[in-house]
Amino acid sequence: MSKVMQKKIGRLTILAEYEDKSLMCKCDCGNIVTRSRTLLYNGTSSSSCGCLKGKAIALGISRK
């Protein structure tokens, strides 16, 4: 049984932890992504769903 904590890393809020130690996270932008817990806590994995990468581009696009 794994404890689910509301923890936020970067833009990702951890929603749930799977049995294989991967984490279901919700990004600030609303995307749900799965990340390896090890990578996330080590900071070697991106702490966003990837939207930061496209932010500069997204700013130029009007939202619906």
| Nearer residue to Zn ion within complex by CB, 27 or 40 | 27
Strand partners, 36: 22
Q: Scanning residues 27 to 56, which ones bind Zn ion (CB under 5 A)?
A: 27, 29, 31, 48-49, 51
Tell me the CA end-to-end span of the chain in Å, nearest whole number: 41
Strand partners, 26: 13, 32
Output the smallest distance, CB 57 to Zn ion, in A.
13
Q: Do strands 8-9 and 12-17 pair parallel, antiparallel, or not at all (unpaired)?
A: antiparallel
| Nearer residue to Zn ion within complex by CB, 3 or 63 | 63
Which residues are near Zn ion by CB under 5 A?
Answer: 27, 29, 31, 48-49, 51
